[in-house]
Amino acid sequence: MNKVLLFLAALLVAGGVHAQPYPNRPVKVVVPWPPGQATDLAARIVAEKLSQQLGQQFIIENKPGAGGAIGTEQVVKSPPDGYTLLAASSGPISIMPNLQKTPYDPLTDLAPVSLTNAVPFALVVHPSFPATNAKEFIAVVRANPGKYTFSSSGTGATAHLFAELFNSMAQLKAVHVPYKGTAAAMTDLIGGQISYAVETVAATVGHIKSGRLKAFGVTSSHRTAALPDLAPLAEAAGLAGYDCVAWGGYMAPRGTPREILERLAAEIQKAVLAADLKERFVTLGMDTASSSPEQMAAFMRREQDRYGTIIKNADIKIER
């Protein structure tokens, strides 16, 4: 009888171990970009909150390369157990598959968890530009097809696509000047060599506040906390439906149990409601966001279709 009781007790103990709620060990968050990049910063802030809320470390691992494809592929090939997550973002998930062949299909090889942040952009010009608002800006550029230039951090980059969509909706013809990175593009815009740009609030807010750049509106459908006095371009420029933000979020390998995805989504929603996290995002020129896995999946499908349309209509191609 004692042996039977001991055996049953052992089974109960073993069952208790296996029944421990997720997560019961550290979780790795792969960031497919270098430290200090926007996706990295947002992912770290959220990971810190998740560590506090769930009592397990969410450890950031940077795996940059190939425009985010290397780190993304690593997560795709990881076990679907909830202990390897991806700090996902617009570039490798929504844009790159429309521009070139990727070693993964973001819509089928990854499981959405939740959005975490939105990255609004702003339409900015050199202070000498002969316009005082968005509608005047459009009138000036439209009246002078091919005269004005706009910069971006590179062909096919988010800034390039947002500008192309703006130009198309506003019926503008301008010359695209791609740079190798945002910093160089901003330097020439501030120096007057470039006429305008649609660039992240994070990259422009300091220059706007200092007077080195003039801003005519933000690309999001609502005002952003980092520049609360700046109206959306849909309103300021009279472009109904113009609503563009880069995004960040968490994803997992395909096949990750639904209960894990939902648990993480709920914890992310709790995290982004925290006042201190919101404030940290504002200092980075970002807005907080959250979603259910299903909402994020629908959002991703819309984003991929939209970027595909922009790329096709503007005939954007990148060098192989």
5 or 58, higher pLDDT? 58
What digits encode the pLDDT tens for the residues 261-271?
A: 999 999 999 99
Check whether 129 has a pLDDT greater than 70.
Answer: yes
Measured from the Cβ of residue 154, the count of other Cβ atoms closer than 10 Å reads: 18
Report yes or no on 17 lying in a domain.
Answer: no
Domains contained in the chain, number:
2
In this predicted structure, what is the pLDDT of residue 20?
Answer: 77
Give the Cα separation of 230 and 216 in Å (integer).
Answer: 7
Check whether 143 has a pLDDT greater than 90.
Answer: yes
Kindly report the average pLDDT of the chain as a whole number. Answer: 93
Residue 199: closest CA among 214, 180, 219, 179: 219
In this predicted structure, what is the pLDDT of residue 318?
Answer: 79
Q: Are residues 109 and 127 in the same domain?
A: no
Check whether 5 has a pLDDT greater than 70.
Answer: no
Lowest-pLDDT range of 16-20, 116-120, 197-201, 314-318 = 16-20
The residue range of the domain holding 191 is: 120-236
What digits encode the pLDDT tens for the residues 278-304?
A: 999 999 999 999 999 999 999 999 999
What digits encode the pLDDT tens for the residues 168-186?
A: 999 999 999 999 989 999 9
Q: What is the percentage of the chain residues whose pLDDT exceeds 90?
A: 91
In CATH, what number is assigned to the domain containing residue 268?
Answer: 3.40.190.150
Q: Are residues 125 and 110 in the same domain?
A: no
Check whether 16 has a pLDDT greater than 50.
Answer: no
The vertex-277 CA angle with 272 and 280, nearest 5°, equals: 135
Q: Are residues 112 and 32 in the same domain?
A: yes
Give CA 288 to chain center in angstroms: 11
Mark which of 207, 236, 265 sits at the end of a domain.
236
In this predicted structure, what is the pLDDT of residue 273?
Answer: 94
What digits encode the pLDDT tens for the residues 207-241?
A: 999 999 999 999 999 999 999 999 999 999 999 99
Lowest-pLDDT range of 52-56, 64-68, 194-198, 232-236 = 64-68
What are the distances in angstroms from CA 18 to CA 21, 23, 24, 78? 8, 12, 10, 21
Report yes or no on 306 lying in a domain.
Answer: yes
Give the Cα separation of 43 and 140 in Å (integer).
Answer: 40
In this prediction, residue 3 has a pLDDT band, given cuts at 50, 70 and 90, of: low
Check whether 249 has a pLDDT greater than 70.
Answer: yes
In this predicted structure, what is the pLDDT of residue 320?
Answer: 53
Q: How many residues does the chain have?
A: 320
Report yes or no on 205 lying in a domain.
Answer: yes
Measured on CA atoms in the order 50, 54, 55, 57, is the torsion positive or negative?
A: negative
What digits encode the pLDDT tens for the residues 185-201?
A: 999 999 999 999 999 99
Mark which of 236, 258, 289 sits at the end of a domain.
236
Q: Which two tokens stand for residue 90?
A: 């617009």
Check whether 136 has a pLDDT greater than 60.
Answer: yes
Average pLDDT on 121-149 reads 97
In CATH, what number is assigned to the domain containing residue 124?
Answer: 3.40.190.10
pTM, entire model = 0.88
In this predicted structure, what is the pLDDT of residue 19?
Answer: 59
Check whether 250 has a pLDDT greater than 90.
Answer: yes
Mark which of 236, 256, 288 sits at the end of a domain.
236
Give the Cα separation of 176 and 150 in Å (integer).
Answer: 5
